[in-house]
């Protein structure tokens, strides 16, 4: 069954890839927040609270319908912790019914064999867990020790692709943990990625020698071609070389066009770290908005560490250089900061 589902997923993903090459007028990846609440409290995270109720399922289905109408390829649930939403499986089915690929970004705490089987039956295509350390500490509870049993269950039962992300920089106490996490994930048959993060003040700093050694060791073992058949997407890592040195990247950020972040209030943002831009309600988001944001340079792009935006934007690195100004949402012309 795993091989059959992987083959079907590969065909559907290839179809979406070809559509992405043929046209720039639709989103490739959307992160949709079904609930802001989270069941753990990592000190560095600014994307959760402890009180929010789940977004109503009919509201979320209407948002999924809208994303389908603009030709979206992949819709991934993020949060908060999306597995706290009681109708998550029904929402995954709704995405599949539109021919889009559903994904899930989770902390993994709520996974069990029964829950994984339910995600299989719902038609989930991709799941990602970010693991920050080997042992939990005051900064993060997303530790390998607490999640290893969940990973074993995923390896045994999951019929969807699983990616395990580890992190470096930003004050992570034990950079060698990223190597341990990466090795464990590969041993279980998962694709892997590694993120370079800002520090607590939002500044990107060059990796220290110990961090750099781990980064080089992890990245030399897995490249994009080795990820074919697993997760080619996570193998796009070229942008991290400059970030590891604390240097800017010169690239076309297509946030707001090829990548959308939709918060629990239904507003479209560039990404989780730039909420407020452009902050247009999804129901009013149009082809004009997609085309404007596709061509608009983003002032935050040079030192951006958001891997999803880099990877999605890579599809269009060779075409349509971005302009220094773009039409504003009210029809006037505004200069885009960079």
Among 31-35, 118-122, 306-310, whose mean pLDDT is lowest?
A: 306-310
140-164 confidence digits (pLDDT tens):
889 999 999 999 999 999 999 999 9
190-204 confidence digits (pLDDT tens):
999 888 877 655 567
CATH level 2 (architecture), domain 2-335: Alpha-Beta Barrel (3.20)
Query: What is this structure's pTM?
Result: 0.91
What is the residue extent of each domain of the chain? Answer: 2-335
Average pLDDT, the chain: 89
Could you give the CA distance from residue 182 to residue 43 in angstroms, rounded to a whole number?
23
What pLDDT does residue 188 have?
A: 96
| Confidence category of residue 323, pLDDT binned at 50, 70, 90 | confident
284-308 confidence digits (pLDDT tens):
999 999 999 999 999 999 999 999 9
pLDDT at 229 over 60: no
């Amino acid at each position: 069954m795993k091989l059959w589902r992987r083959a079907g997923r590969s065909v559907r993903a290839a179809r979406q890839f070809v559509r992405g090459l043929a046209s720039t007028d639709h989103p490739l990846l959307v992160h949709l927040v079904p609930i802001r609440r989270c069941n753990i409290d990592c000190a560095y995270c600014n994307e959760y609270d402890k009180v929010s109720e789940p977004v109503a399922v009919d509201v979320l289905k209407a948002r999924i319908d809208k994303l389908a109408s603009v030709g979206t390829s992949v819709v991934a649930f993020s949060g908060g912790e999306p597995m706290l939403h009681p109708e998550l499986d029904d929402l995954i089915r709704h995405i599949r019914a539109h021919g889009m690929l559903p994904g899930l970004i989770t902390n993994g705490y709520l996974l069990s064999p029964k829950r994984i089987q339910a995600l299989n039956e719902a038609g989930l295509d991709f799941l990602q867990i970010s693991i920050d350390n080997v042992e939990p500490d005051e900064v993060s509870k997303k530790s390998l020790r607490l999640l290893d049993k969940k990973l074993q269950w995923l390896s045994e039962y999951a019929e969807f692709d699983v990616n395990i992300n580890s992190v470096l920089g930003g004050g992570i106490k034990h950079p060698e943990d990223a190597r341990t996490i990466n090795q464990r994930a590969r041993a279980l048959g998962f694709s892997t990625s590694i993120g370079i993060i800002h520090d607590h003040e939002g500044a990107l700093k060059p990796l220290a020698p110990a961090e750099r050694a781990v980064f080089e060791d992890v990245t030399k073992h897995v490249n994009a071609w080795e990820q074919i058949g697993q997760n080619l997407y996570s193998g796009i890592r070229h942008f991290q070389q400059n970030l590891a040195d604390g240097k800017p990247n010169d690239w076309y950020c297509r946030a707001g066009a090829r990548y959308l972040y939709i918060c629990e209030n239904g507003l479209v943002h560039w990404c989780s770290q730039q909420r407020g831009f452009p902050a247009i309600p999804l129901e009013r988001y149009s082809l004009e908005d997609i085309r404007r944001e596709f061509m608009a340079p983003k002032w935050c792009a040079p030192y951006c560490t958001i891997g999803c935006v880099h990877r999605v934007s890579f599809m269009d690195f060779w075409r349509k250089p971005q302009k220094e100004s773009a039409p504003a949402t009210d029809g006037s012309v505004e200069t885009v900061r960079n």
